[in-house]
Amino acid sequence: MSVTHETDEVRVAQIGEYQVITRPPRSDLVALVEIAAQVAQVPLATINLITDTHQHQIAAAGFEAAVCTREDSMCNVVLHEPAPVILEDASKDPRFADNPFVTGEIGKVRFYATHQLRTPQGVVIGTLCVFDTVPRTITDEQEHALQSLAERVVDLLELELRTRELSASVQRLEEVQTELRRSNEQLGAFAGQVSHDLRNPLTAVTMALRMLSDEIADGEEEREPGLQYLLARAISGAGRMQSLIDDLLAFARLGGELQRRPVDLGATMRDVAEDLMTALAGATLVVDPLPVVTGDPVQLRAVLQNLVANAAKFARPGEKAHITVCAHQRARTWRIEVVDRGIGVPAEQRSRVFQPLARVDESVEGSGIGLTTCRRIVEAHGGRIGLDESPYGGTTAWFELPAAG
């Protein structure tokens, strides 16, 4: 394949993206070419796009735009010149003396000025051309203005292309959002049904285990001593399974619309502390003043409850948890921090723990769903969430939310 053929392919592909040669002349391009004629003080001007076989006049002033073969095109001869070509009388230039646009076969061009149309990728796709049937000259100011207008031609072509691409992207995004809403609705319905189907037999199993445990505790001493221990483990396992089912259901249902309203995080934290009274038994909990933000009160409460519960759960062995909840305003956001003095999370694990079912310490009970749920809630509010090392060697779990307007 020759260099010329390769160049033609690139140019034809670029022209095809602009989608102008098969459509009626665009009003913005016609207006621009009319300005070019006025600037040069000539009666005729056109925008030419040159493919591998033809010259397409996509806008014209002073005559009807048309199509001719590439061999007949004057601009094709100088398409790849490094600078504009300006001739007082084209009939005296050997490159054009026999051209049908000069000889009278198609036209009688004398004054001729052409400026290349160069795309942002450096591809020359055609020219902005002004001409007259009599010899004439133009000033340096006129030439500079024509060069600027040639650049504006490309700007208009690019603007329409990018607008079309953006519209297509918006349409695809809307289609994805519609599909996502439908999928979330189906997922929520499916999760609800699965949760219901699993809860009933699990509840029956748990009740049977507890009844059997009660019977043994009521005096059947002759039974195997280890049976009570095994039953206790079975009941505990059933409880963990119930908790996992609830966590999975909450995770699946997060696709719904947020119920946005002012949320007093201080009041929310007081409710969280009351709900976690058992988990926080013996722990030190310090709550600094917290802001009012805009969001879903139920979901933001779930975030705080998960983070505080984790801080209590991952205390150092033999030590009581020490937790501080505080807030810092940063530009247009609030950063809420839950700081503990626990065992900490290794730096290489701090992103992974936000993935579904990811757990760092298998010795501590949990489903691995909580932090994933927190991330989905915070991101749905337009915020961010993460983990850092605390000043005490533990973990600082933080999330950022837009400040109330």
Using one digit for the tens of pLDDT, what is the confidence trace for 217-267?
665 555 555 666 666 666 766 665 666 566 556 655 555 556 788 999 999
Residues 6+ apart with CB under 8 A from 118: 124, 125, 154
Residues in the chain: 405
CA distance 195 to 201: 11
Q: What is the DSSP letter of 387?
A: E
Task: State the amino acid at position 309 in one-letter form.
Answer: A
Rounded Cα gap, residues 338 and 256, in angstroms: 27
- End-to-end C-alpha distance for the chain, whole angstroms: 62
Distances (CA, A) of 41 to 45, 128, 176, 244: 10, 15, 53, 80
Residue written as tokens 């009041």?
267
| Structure token pair of residue 359 | 């757990």
Q: How far is residue 106's CA from residue 73's CA, in Å, rounded to a whole number?
A: 10
Stretch 362-374: mean pLDDT, rounded? 59
Cα 395 to chain centroid, rounded: 30
> Do the Cβ atoms of 276 and 321 come closer than 8 Å?
no
pLDDT for the residue numbered 44: 96
* Residue whose entry in the numeric block shows the structure tokens 């009319």: 34
Nearest to 388 by CA among 325, 343, 346, 336: 346
Q: How far apart are CA 304 and CA 276, in angstroms?
A: 11
Residue 19's pLDDT is what?
92
Q: What's the DSSP call for residue 347?
A: G
Whether the CB-CB separation of 285 and 323 falls below 8 Å is answered with: yes
Check residue 277 and give its pLDDT.
83
pLDDT band at 390 (very low <50, low <70, confident <90, very high): confident
pLDDT at residue 356 in the model = 58
What digits encode the pLDDT tens for the residues 95-126?
Answer: 999 999 999 999 999 999 999 999 999 999 99
Q: What domains lie within the chain, and their CATH numbers?
A: 3-138 (3.30.450.40), 173-253 (1.10.287), 258-402 (3.30.565.10)
C-alpha–C-alpha distance, residues 405 and 403, integer Å? 6
Cα 168 to Cα 17: distance, rounded to the nearest angstrom? 14
Q: How far is CA 101 from the centre of its chain?
A: 52
CB within 8 Å of 311: residues ≥ 6 apart? 321, 323, 338, 339, 340, 342, 394, 395, 397
Tokens 């150092």 — which residue? 316
Q: Tell me, what's the pLDDT at 389?
A: 87
Output 268 or 3, whichever has higher pLDDT. Answer: 268
| Percent of the chain whose predicted confidence (pLDDT) is above 90 | 46
β-bridge partners, 87 = 112
Confidence band of 162 (pLDDT split at 50, 70, 90) = very high
Structure-model confidence comparison of residues 347 and 294, the more confident one: 294
CB 399 within 8 A of CB 378: yes
- Which residues touch 235 (CB under 8 Å, ≥6 apart)? 206, 209, 210, 213
